[in-house]
């Protein structure tokens, strides 16, 4: 499966995004031929974490959220990490950016605590998804159906629970992003 230069946005918080949930999907998209743009609240380098508490690697940010539009991209990845996901959902610009992907019918992949941004964007109601287990009440309260599965796909939304699910999550998001690319060409 090849993404043939498709433009994929990936969000990262300035601090607190879970490193493997950022780095592995990014690498999977790049290996499939996608062009990844790293987007954050500002343009300073972003410090990730491991297991929410331990410092992780630092990553270069390509663009600030205030200077991007969903129209520039073919799909979106939202990594988790409790602190990072909370920072992202607290940004009105991030919430609008996420919502714009759904409005345009573009695929979105979210793992672990990332569905908080989906809830803030009012994009959970009527959907079935998974997440880190502590979000299940939030998802149900937002009108979604929460299930305990490795990866779930619902109307172009790909979700997974935690870093243990990354192999399945990465494979499924590449597949869904490729299918989105094929649908665009039809």
Active site residues: 112
Taking the C-alpha atoms of residue 99 and residue 46, their distance in angstroms, rounded to an integer, is 23
Taking the C-alpha atoms of residue 73 and residue 166, their distance in angstroms, rounded to an integer, is 22
Burial (Cβ within 10 Å: 0-12, 13-18, ≥19) of residue 145: middle
Beta bridge partners of 38: 10
Do the beta carbons of residue 63 and residue 9 sit within 8 Å?
no
Phi, psi of 28 (to 5 degrees): -65, -40
**Sheet hosting strand 46-50, strand order edge to edge:** 15-18, 46-50, 54-59
């Amino acid at each position: 499966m090849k993404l043939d230069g498709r433009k994929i946005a990936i969000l990262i918080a300035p601090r607190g995004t879970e490193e493997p949930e950022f780095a592995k999907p990014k690498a999977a998209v790049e290996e499939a031929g996608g062009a990844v743009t790293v987007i954050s609240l500002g343009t300073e380098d972003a410090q990730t974490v491991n297991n929410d508490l331990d410092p992780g690697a630092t990553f270069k940010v390509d663009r600030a959220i205030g200077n991007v539009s969903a129209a520039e991209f073919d799909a979106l990845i939202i990594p988790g990490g409790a602190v990072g996901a909370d920072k992202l959902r607290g940004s009105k610009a991030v919430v609008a950016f996420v919502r714009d992907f759904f409005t345009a019918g573009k695929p979105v992949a979210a793992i672990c605590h990332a569905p908080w941004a989906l809830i803030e964007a009012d994009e959970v109601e009527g959907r079935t998804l998974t997440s880190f287990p502590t979000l299940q009440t939030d998802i149900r309260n937002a009108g979604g159906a929460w299930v305990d599965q490795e990866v779930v796909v619902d109307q172009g939304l790909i979700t997974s629970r935690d870093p243990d699910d990354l192999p399945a999550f990465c494979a499924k998001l590449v597949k869904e992003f490729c299918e989105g690319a094929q649908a665009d060409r039809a």
